[in-house]
Amino acid sequence: MLAVKEFSPGVIMNAVLVWLFILTVFQVTVIAGIGKFIFRNLPYPMILLYASSLILMKGEKQNDITGSIVGSFFSIPSRTFFPSVLGFVLVVAIFKRRNHKTYQVVLGALLPITALNNLEFGVPAVIATLFVVFATLRLHRIKRQAFFLILASALTTFGLITVAFALRSAPLDLGLWTAMVRAQGSGGYMNVPMPIVGTYLLVFAILASGLVIGLMNFSATSDINILKSSATAIYAGVWGILSMPYYTGRSWPSHIQVFFIPVTICIFGIAGVFYYSGHFANKKLSFTQLIARLPLTMVLVLPIATFVIAPNPKTEWQRATGGGSEWSLVNQSKTKVVTSVFAAVERYGLDIKKSVYFGDQYASTVELITGMKNGLGVNTLEYSLVSADLRELACRRLPDLNPKFVVSQNDDTRINFVGPSLLDSSCPGMTVLYAPDDIGVTVFSYTRPGG
């Protein structure tokens, strides 16, 4: 994105959307690639359709962008891109005979990148990878040299990342890395009680089954196809189960959708184990045998059921090219937060270059359109209202930016943002200057504390 930073807001927004669209498509193809690596004889387009129908399903109307797992790019590709790629590289690095050392180096390099990219899904994916690698090493499926090559690659990559951040005068910050995890579900924030019965029961049952089936078969066979399938099921099962706090800390219905990504990978692994074990080889099965196979059959046909609620390609293509109902420069310019910032600048004669903006997760979009820098140290203003620790993180950038004005969003349907009635949630040095009732921002003056 650095290549287009000097272009107009419209070009930048379209470039970002196209880039995210490419990453999303690549991630789905990688997940389908895992299935193809297990089922060599199945056509890749069939596997791709099988995977995409489950991953991209949506629970809302087809003409509505919201409801799809890619509705805001929060789940795919942002949280799960690297774990998906990591899963593919893992099985290839262990079981592919040709160029296996290259894949092992890539596998090691992906470990710190995946963990640092996202705590909630990245760290569990790294743990799942190490679990499979250690299990493979213990069973002498890979040599110790391969393990040390993976480890050396991981440590080298982490060192390079650390140096790169230090050179940017922005060292790795554990507080920022864990900010979102500490905010979500803290004190009931963005949290609802888990339902007694819900889709999550099916999701985690599949993940747990994949882990158990994978472990049972991984050490009980020398068949390379069953080993590949078992390793895949183990990886997806461990990754999904260890990521469960993401759902339990929120429990919103939409937050279970992201788990269909590890579920899809897990289904590939489970199906491979049973297929190569000859579980369905008998043409004549007794009634008892049919009943025993029914749960597995229902899991395997799950993507067929979800195909009918997959996103409309026409709608998603418009969105990818900047013409969707949500993500387009024209529509974003008409949002209340953007028009409120422009109104405050015009009404009070604010100097945009001497002002910063506090807002929700779309603050970067506001910065792109208005030119007013995003001054928050976290990715949404809501987090500053959760705890004193998170408020300190949110305010951390202000002394260095040292703006004259802080324009803060103060109206949100979920929670009151920083305004004249919530001064305890503002940053040190901020003083209410203008608190209009007809626009959605409060204007603060700012004086750096202690000087």
What local confidence, expressed as pLDDT, does residue 81 receive? 93
What local confidence, expressed as pLDDT, does residue 62 receive? 45
What local confidence, expressed as pLDDT, does residue 416 receive? 44
Both tokens of 330, joined, read 């024209």
What local confidence, expressed as pLDDT, does residue 235 receive? 97
Both tokens of 233, joined, read 């099921």
Instruction: Give the contacts of 442 (CB within 8 A, at least 6 positions apart).
Output: 407, 408, 410, 418, 419, 420, 432, 434, 435, 436
Q: Taking a C-beta distance cutoff of 8 angstroms, is the pair 270, 296 a contact?
A: yes
List alpha helices for 139-286, DSSP H. Answer: 144-167, 174-177, 179-183, 199-218, 224-242, 245-248, 260-276
Separation CA 189–CA 23 (nearest Å): 30
Angle between helices 119-138 and 100-117 (to 10 degrees): 150
Q: Which contacts of 250-256 are long-range, i.e. CB under 8 A and separated by 24 or more positions?
A: 250/184, 250/185, 250/190, 250/191, 250/192, 251/191, 251/192, 251/193, 251/194, 251/195, 252/190, 252/192, 253/59, 253/198, 253/199, 254/59, 254/67, 256/198, 256/199, 256/200, 256/203
Amino acid (1-letter code) at residue 281 = A
Q: What is the pLDDT of residues 92-110, one digit of tens each?
A: 999 887 777 899 999 999 9
Q: Taking a C-beta distance cutoff of 8 angstroms, is the pair 358, 376 a contact?
A: yes
Q: Taking a C-beta distance cutoff of 8 angstroms, is the pair 370, 352 a contact?
A: yes
What local confidence, expressed as pLDDT, does residue 324 receive? 58
Q: Cα angle vertex 113, ends 244, 78, to 5°?
A: 55
What local confidence, expressed as pLDDT, does residue 420 receive? 47
What local confidence, expressed as pLDDT, does residue 35 receive? 94
Work out the mean pLDDT of the chain and round it to a whole number: 80
Residues of the chain with confidence (pLDDT) below 70? 1-6, 9-10, 56-74, 169-172, 175-176, 179-193, 249-254, 279-283, 285, 289, 292, 305-328, 379, 382-385, 411-425, 451
Both tokens of 115, joined, read 């963990």
What local confidence, expressed as pLDDT, does residue 414 receive? 41
What local confidence, expressed as pLDDT, does residue 65 receive? 47
Instruction: Give the contacts of 144 (CB within 8 A, at least 6 positions apart).
Output: 137
What local confidence, expressed as pLDDT, does residue 245 receive? 80
Q: Where are the domains of the chain?
A: 2-318, 335-446
Q: Taking a C-beta distance cutoff of 8 angstroms, is the pair 282, 290 a contact?
A: no
What local confidence, expressed as pLDDT, does residue 192 receive? 67
355 - beta bridge partners? 405
Q: Taking a C-beta distance cutoff of 8 angstroms, is the pair 378, 424 a contact?
A: no
